[in-house]
Amino acid sequence: MTKLSAKARARLASLAISLSFWLGGVSLVAIKCVAYFMSGSELIKASVFESLGDVMSSAILAVTQMRVRDQSDMHLYPTGKKRFTPLGILFFSAFAVSTMISLIIENIEKLFGPEPQKTPIFSSKCAFLQSVEQCFSPRSSEEEERRELLTRLFDEQPRLRQHLGSTQLEEMIESYVEEEAAAEAAPHSLVVLLFICILIKAFLLIFCLYAARQADSEIARTVSMDHRNDILGNGLVLLIVAGSAYCRSTGQGGDWLDKVDPASSMLLAVYVLVCWMSTANEQLRVLSDKRAEEEHTEAVVKFTQERLANSGFALTKASTFHVGEGYAVILDLTAKESVKMSATEIAVFLEGLEQAVKSADLEAMEVHAKLRTLNKSNSSDSMAWVTEYR
């Protein structure tokens, strides 16, 4: 297999991310909004917010990364802009958590509150779509049969008409027939829309896996895992919607069937809530200057020791802390007795070490190298005078 060039790999990874955003994010939100408009299903409403969260988090990442790459105002941010992305995600996390809590409360009221007046779940949302469809398509034989059956019933049982005139009776029959037709047509359209969402995600999963393998892109591999999880989630939504529609069409089930939609919506909202709370906790962790993981500190120590080899200086302690998406590094050094350097030379050496750590693949946004000397009491004193020359 021919190995791609660096430019081709970067272009392939960028294409995978762009397709994931526009095709797997924005288009799915639009499709699910249409599905919610058709059905009014609380489950699909929760699924819309789940997809919207993916789109918004991707948009926040794109905008903040653009701000981070902007070098025109770096003098205003001496320690870098790595806090922008966590702050943006934390802001949207608060919105997503509050929205999911509202959705959970709403579904709890529907599950345990007073029984609402039962109406066909698809009839009100599909009235507009049904009227448009009737303008361009002839009436089906099933609709004609329903109309004839209702007309014959009222003709044979005049008392059912009560005080309704002929015009009012015709309007009532017409309205009932249209609602029944819409209620039957909507579940099929809904299943088709949800199936299209799964097909889109499946295509993106295959493409991102291909991009991850060909371009050796870790971000494409991460995005492919997100597509895989979305396929499972959307498949579960499709299964519940299709199962509920089948039970209604065959007359199976009972009052419990009306609880399936709010119950499944509540469970999905709880799942999304937990995910966003975990994300918010992660962003708070990186924004609080928490001590970095041992793996990162060990990598810094290894790089610094290799850099200090045969230099006359030794690393006594290394501390790393989170600074947004990057890290702050503090290095404590001691000089060997054989070192004969002036203060200026020491200052230049420390500055070079700091720049080397920043340039290494350690995500270090700020580095502070401090030179210490051991006195007779074996305590460590900082050679602060060196900073005068830096």
CATH number at residue 362: 3.30.70.1350
pTM of this prediction? 0.61
pLDDT tens for 168-179 read 656 665 665 555
Give a yes or no: residue 161 inside a domain: yes
Domain identity same for 347 and 326: yes
Give a yes or no: residue 65 inside a domain: yes
pLDDT tens for 322-373 read 887 788 899 999 887 777 788 888 888 889 999 999 888 888 888 888 887 6
Structural domain count of the chain: 2
pLDDT tens for 242-254 read 888 777 777 676 6
Domain identity same for 166 and 249: yes
Alpha-carbon gap, residue 241 to 47, rounded angstroms? 12
pLDDT tens for 74-130 read 667 766 677 777 887 788 888 888 888 988 898 888 888 766 554 444 444 444 444
Domain identity same for 376 and 272: no
Q: What are phi and psi of 293, to 5 degrees?
A: -65, 155
Name residues whose C-beta falls within 8 Å of residue 349's C-beta, 6 or more positions apart in sequence.
311, 313, 341
pLDDT at 203 over 90: yes
**Which range has the worst mean pLDDT, 3-17, 36-50, 321-335?**
3-17
Decide: 315 and 332 in contact? Cβ < 8 Å: yes
Q: Which domain holds residue 265?
A: 6-286
Tally of CA atoms within 13 A in the half-sphere of 351 that contains its CB: 11
Give a yes or no: residue 1 inside a domain: no
Domain identity same for 162 and 223: yes
pLDDT grade for 388, boundaries at 50, 70 and 90 = very low
Residue after which a domain boundary falls, among 258, 286, 314:
286
Domain identity same for 119 and 246: yes
Residue after which a domain boundary falls, among 256, 286, 316:
286
Decide: 55 and 29 in contact? Cβ < 8 Å: yes
